[in-house]
Chain A
């Protein structure tokens, strides 16, 4: 059948343009998402700081839990949020290990001004060498790197610069203290890493159980822990995006194919009558789909590579991905994207062709001219099944209280509802037309014709409705999931913050001294693991003057390093109550056992877990937290400005808004692509559907309908379709968001900014009108008699 597919493609280029465009975008989107996913799975960061040491001994950055599966056990590992330190005694053991020539120990700690501090003992790990001045030998002396812009004799964080190195790291500024002072500034008796020389020496046995050995690019993963976390995030983000875009692609492509097959029903019916078996018609359509998708998939994948680079640069800009985590380039995403596109197209063609191919040729010859009324049982059944699935997923979603689980299910729920609406489109369209015909009658010509047309071809109307409602549903879900979450968190944070100001970049002790300040609470953000599950955690010493977590049971009195407070959601997840003992793995891998002191309501605005600041501060990389400052806002802002000019001071309400914005932006960028894709599908479908009607429009012109009346009719048809689509799309989004809200925020009422919603509806309407009016203009430009005379 390939020859026939090829012939048809060549002859009906225009008819396949829509499918081609949809498939091209699908391939580009899938390819870009897969690039992110692959980078997440296989991406590496080359070491900078540790480039000069062949073998690196450092802590195990994973929490490992052995899971007993009856006959066999499996060790599962999850990454930790903070750097894991190793005991200093390990160095002594390593020095004695066979084959070891040299051991270099290192400590790492943050220094004001964005510098990373080390002791001079570890300069050899890069290696750093002195270009000017000398090495630091006493407390109060530092050596800065070549890119710092400081010279010998200048001052940094209360230390005198005695030397400048010849080197600098591309990703960060380094400062070296004297070895002894560095040890006191870091954690006593602990190291961040040990460099071992020469290359190839096997020290695994010497450190067994206490640390791990890293070589090659593994050293980069230890150096840039942030890159590791970003990598893990990319896996889930890339996976979710790939899945969503594939599903959306299939939905869009099915729509496009269905329309193009509907348009050539007569030709297919003729083939069936003359000589083609149902299987041959299916093969013909499948072959066309494969060829179009191959032709679209190849350039699409090429575009996708560009899109992948653009996405990466956007993510880097937004801080979701470190600049030194390079995209992994391999043929896999492009090949997979082309194959996925071909598969989607083939499946779409098969679905659309199913009915055409099975139909008896006589029915087909008859049906080609007028639409058949009934909906096939299979489609009806599938539609009802999808709606049932939608109900089930909605119920599941309303019980999900963790974002990691909730986000993908939210998208899936919205998509499943969209599929149900697509499948049940024709009866929905008929129902809508019955309702809409009443107001449409107000317009005698355009409105009358529009209702007649809509009523006569509910299938065409439904093929327009489904992409538009998909676009509305996806856009609203994506946008308003963020606003709902953000709004709920903001509300809780605002309600729970007693402090007037949020200060960063200043030590707590200094702020306490500032006149007008009545209380200061230091807040550290980290994450801990209980078992393998991650919990967002704040470290703070509760003070009713600055923070009110809204404790529901228990009390925060006497809250100390041995206590933990749980949000209601976390308590439910852990099935814990006040007085229970919980084993927690802190961010740096340190296990602690703490007692539940209280359960609080404002988990969304603050954190799932609250630990004492005194406990957390010893186990985070950056002990400089955010300060909640109580006191008269206006007065304190002024006094702080004069006393601590380097500090950033924000009224607390503003500070919360900013915190939520970054995460939302990343989602907007990624999901924005899917929205853009659905927008292209909308334009595509409408333009196809209008262009196909040029004969009908010409006929209307010939019998005396004015151009204005024809355009009026088309506008009204489009607006009716858009109205139905906006209603169904909004309902889908509303149901999904309500379920999402019920689970995540405890309230089924989503936060929908009216202006944003109005903008979405306006954009969709404008897009749909444009996609109708432009092709119609083109069609009407032709002289009606000629358009009618043109053979099919």
Chain B
């Protein structure tokens, strides 16, 4: 397996001088293609910063981020945007959709902004896989929270990206709906060979991943393969003890 995303000694410092806060300290990690990775950590551990830097949403203070063969540092905002819309998919916690567009228009938004035409067959398959057949004409306000996340996942998949990033994608959902969405993400990895990186604080969510990375105080302090929710929860408890 090749690495889709590779971070080398990535640091991110907010602020300057005395008030400077390091959110990431020399993080190095490689995400293999076709894997499902969960990033866990207590609040303030740098999870979100990690995701933003890895996804080209934010620029690290130092270090290198490579997506496929492309070095992200030094790219202009326009180049970064193009890269995001062609090679990266996003699922955020909430406010994922543009209210004025229908489900189908939301899904194809990255394509239309790129000036590309949707591949009809692929679009139909994506819609079918996320279970939104018959709802493509609806507006986001007419959908439940879980359905909205499914639309976001479909939008993330439609450009056949190299990696899909999720920022607490199930954070705003109830347990049952969250399980459905996580199953869908799992399916995407297994059935479509998609790479998924997900930031979460929920051990149950993390248990759907192949690998869990534990972040604390801006550093990767541990990792776990074949996680279960109990093992993750136990590790998290210990992490909490370390950080306090």
Contact = CB atoms under 8 A, between A and B. Distances in A.
Contact of B99 (A11, A272, A358): A11
Contacts of A93: none
23 contacts: A4-B101, A7-B105, A11-B99, A11-B139, A12-B100, A267-B99, A270-B95, A270-B98, A271-B109, A271-B113, A272-B81, A273-B57, A273-B92, A274-B84, A274-B90, A274-B109, A275-B109, A276-B81, A277-B113, A280-B113, A360-B77, A362-B58, A792-B99
B77 A270 contact: no
Contacts of B95: 266-267, 270, 368, 792
Interface in A460-474: none
Contact of B141 (A3, A10, A368, A791): A791
A47 interface: no
Nearest to A358: B77
B78 interface: yes
A8 interface: yes
Interface string A1-19: 0011001101110000000
B90 A277 contact: no
Given A7-B105, A791-B140, A792-B95, A278 B57 contact: no
B155 A274 contact: yes
A368 B95 CA distance: 11
A515 interface: no
A266 B95 CA distance: 8
Nearest to B49: A362
A273 B105 contact: no
Interface of B: 52, 57-59, 77-78, 81-82, 84-85, 90, 92, 95-101, 105, 109-110, 112-114, 139-141, 155
Given A274-B109, A274-B155, A275-B114, A362 B52 contact: yes
Nearest to B159: A275
Given A274-B110, A362-B57, A792-B95, A279 B100 contact: no
Contacts of A358: 77
Contacts of A8: 98, 100
A277 B77 contact: yes
A47 B234 CA distance: 101
B83 to A, nearest CB: 10
Contact of A275 (B58, B81, B101): B81
A100 to B, nearest CB: 76
A360 B109 CA distance: 19
A358 B82 CA distance: 15
B174 to A, nearest CB: 15
B44 to A, nearest CB: 14
Given A12-B100, A271-B109, 9 more contacts: A11-B99, A272-B81, A273-B92, A274-B109, A275-B114, A277-B82, A360-B58, A361-B57, A368-B95
B81 A267 contact: no
Contact of B78 (A278, A361, A362): A278
Contacts of A274: 84-85, 90, 109-110, 155
Contacts of B141: 791
Contacts of B155: 274
Interface of A: 3-4, 7-8, 10-12, 266-267, 270-280, 358, 360-362, 365, 368, 791-792
Nearest to A10: B100
Instruction: Name which of B81, B109, B140 has the most chain A CB atoms within 10 A of its CB.
Output: B81
A273 B109 CA distance: 12
Nearest to B143: A791
A6 to B, nearest CB: 9
A contacts with B: majority SS:
helix
A514 B53 CA distance: 100
B136 to A, nearest CB: 15
Contacts of A277: 77-78, 81-82, 113
Nearest to A267: B98
A229 B234 CA distance: 92
Contacts of B92: 270, 273, 365
Interface-central residue, A266, A361, A368, by most chain B CB under 10 Å: A361
Given A270-B98, A362-B58, A275 B84 contact: yes
A7 B90 contact: no
A276 B113 contact: yes
A265 to B, nearest CB: 11
Contacts of A3: 112
Contacts of A362: 52, 57-58
User: Among the interface residues A3, A270, A277, A368, which one has the most CB atoms of the partner chain B within 10 A?
Assistant: A277
Nearest to B101: A7
Contacts of A276: 81, 85, 113
A280 B81 CA distance: 10
Contacts of A279: 78
A7 B112 CA distance: 14
B137 to A, nearest CB: 14
Contacts of A791: 99, 140-141
Nearest to B140: A791
Q: Which of A270, A274, A360 has the most chain B CB within a 10 Å cutoff?
A: A274
Given A270-B95, A791-B140, A275 B52 contact: no
A464 to B, nearest CB: 25
Nearest to B89: A274
Contacts of A267: 95, 98-99
A443 B244 CA distance: 41
Nearest to B51: A362
Contacts of A365: 92
A275 B78 contact: no
Contacts of A360: 57-59, 77
Nearest to A9: B100
A231 to B, nearest CB: 50
A726 B105 CA distance: 47
Nearest to A6: B100
Contacts of B77: 277-278, 358, 360
A275 B85 contact: yes
Contacts of B84: 273-275
Nearest to A364: B57
Nearest to B113: A275
A12 B141 CA distance: 13
A275 B139 CA distance: 20
A11 B58 contact: no
A364 B110 CA distance: 18
A789 B96 CA distance: 17
A225 B85 CA distance: 70
Nearest to A278: B77
Nearest to A3: B112
A224 to B, nearest CB: 58
B145 to A, nearest CB: 9
B206 to A, nearest CB: 23
Contacts of B98: 8, 267, 270-271
Contacts of B97: 270
Greatest chain B CB density within 10 A among A275, A279, A360 is at A275
Of B109, B110, B113, B114, which is in contact with the most chain A CB atoms at under 10 Å from its CB?
A: B113
Contacts of B81: 272, 275-278
A3 B112 CA distance: 10
A208 B143 CA distance: 86
A438 to B, nearest CB: 29
A276 B81 CA distance: 6
B218 to A, nearest CB: 17
A504 B38 CA distance: 97
B142 to A, nearest CB: 9
A553 to B, nearest CB: 67
A277 B141 CA distance: 26
Contacts of B114: 275
Cβ-closest 5 pairs across A and B: A11-B100, A275-B85, A275-B110, A277-B81, A275-B113
A361 B109 CA distance: 16
Nearest to A268: B98
A331 B110 CA distance: 43
A8 B99 CA distance: 8
Nearest to A363: B58
B73 to A, nearest CB: 14
Nearest to B59: A360
